[in-house]
A = this chain, B = another copy of it.
Amino acid sequence: MIEDRKLDVLRAIVEDYVSTNEPVGSKSLVERHQLGVSPATIRNDMAALEDEGYITQPHTSAGRVPTDKGYRLFVDKLSTVKPLSAPERRAIEGFLGGAVGLDDVVNRTVRLLAQLTRQVAVVQYPSLSRSAVRHVELVGLSETRVMVVLITDSGRVEQRIVELPGVLREDDLSDLRTRFNGRIAGHALADAPMLLSDLPEAVEPDVRANVSAILATVLETLVEHVDERVVMAGTANLARGTALDFPGSIHPVLEALEEHVVLLRLFGESGDRDVHVSIGGENPHEGLHTASIVSTGYGTEGTPFASLGIVGPTRMDYPGTMGAVRAVARYVGQILAEGN
């Protein structure tokens, strides 16, 4: 009974604080919500909530503000993800539908997400290791130089140039191309090393050195720090309500955002399913203690390509943001699955 009302009060505090950006007091709370009790009663509840660590007051005789713990409870128990409105959905569809090629899809996505949520949007490129090989192409640039082009089913293209230890003839190259594709086309990239390991032994001894060199590069392309690419948009959104949203300054936040590797780890941890939220101090990275991250995986059903999401102040509209992130992830997954 009283517990229920306390939760209602917390929800009301979060909602009011998010929308007004001012500490909320007992009086304004009863005015703006139908709680059916007097301010004095609310005050008792608030005192209890404060004891339990869900809210706090910036200074004595000011209203209450949710703590990280308060936001956490709100997100977990007190709110439901808000679906986008029909016009919003149509806008997404229209905007992303017009994309040609993976780069375009990713770029449009990150912009869209930034605009929709009015936060900093981050989109990770489809991970190589979690995709399957569509095609491998070997292009002879000169007698001792080969370009390796790798195309995945998510439409991502990766290329490297290999300096060969010796000369490789065009028909050897073509033979090799066939062998590569025969072995790994359609398979997950993660399996490639195993599928290719005995390739040098399968070819003529005189081209073996060249094959090894190419193979080494292919494997390196597949395995090494290749998930590192992220795109960002909407950093200007950080500077909108600065003093109010980020206590110290936005400097540490901007710094954290520049460390793409860190970002990837944070976003990578968005669980397999649905939207993941990390609030303020929950965040492992020091610079992001004043920020929250809302992220999710995207890709074809069951096998996410990669993650996307947003970074914003802890004081944000979680239900709306989560809805936007989820919706965008779904559309992108859909579009990439359709082939680009």
Contacts and interface: CB of A to CB of B under 8 A. Distances in A.
Interface of A: 100-101, 134-135, 137, 139, 141, 147, 149, 151, 155, 157, 159-161, 233-236, 238-240, 242, 249-251, 254-255, 257-258, 340
A263 to B, nearest CB: 13
A155 B33 CA distance: 62
A340 B162 CA distance: 10
Contacts of A254: 235-236, 238-239
A35 B139 CA distance: 67
A324 B240 CA distance: 32
A340 B255 CA distance: 30
Contacts of A257: 235-236
A322 to B, nearest CB: 24
A242 B249 contact: yes
Copies of this chain, how many? 2
Contacts of A340: 161
A251 B235 contact: no
Give 8 nearest A-B pairs by CB, closest first: A236-B254, A239-B251, A236-B255, A137-B139, A239-B250, A157-B159, A235-B254, A239-B254
A101 B250 contact: no
A250 B246 CA distance: 14
Given A101-B161, A139-B137, A234 B258 contact: yes
Nearest to A136: B139
B239 A258 contact: no
A259 to B, nearest CB: 10
Contact of A236 (B101, B147, B234, B251): B251
Contacts of A250: 239
B151 A141 contact: yes
Query: Chain B CB within 10 Å — which of A101, A141, A249, A258 has the most?
Result: A258
A141 B149 contact: no
Among A100, A234, A235, A340, find the residue whose CB has the most chain B CB atoms closer than 10 A: A235
Nearest to A258: B236
A239 B242 CA distance: 11
Nearest to A163: B339
Contacts of A161: 101, 155, 340
Contacts of A135: 139, 141, 147
A224 to B, nearest CB: 11
Contacts of A134: 141
A34 B116 CA distance: 58
Given A147-B151, A160-B101, A161-B340, A235 B258 contact: yes
A100 to B, nearest CB: 8
Given A134-B141, A137-B149, 17 more contacts: A101-B160, A101-B161, A137-B137, A137-B139, A137-B147, A139-B149, A141-B151, A147-B151, A147-B157, A161-B340, A234-B258, A235-B235, A235-B258, A236-B251, A238-B254, A239-B249, A239-B254
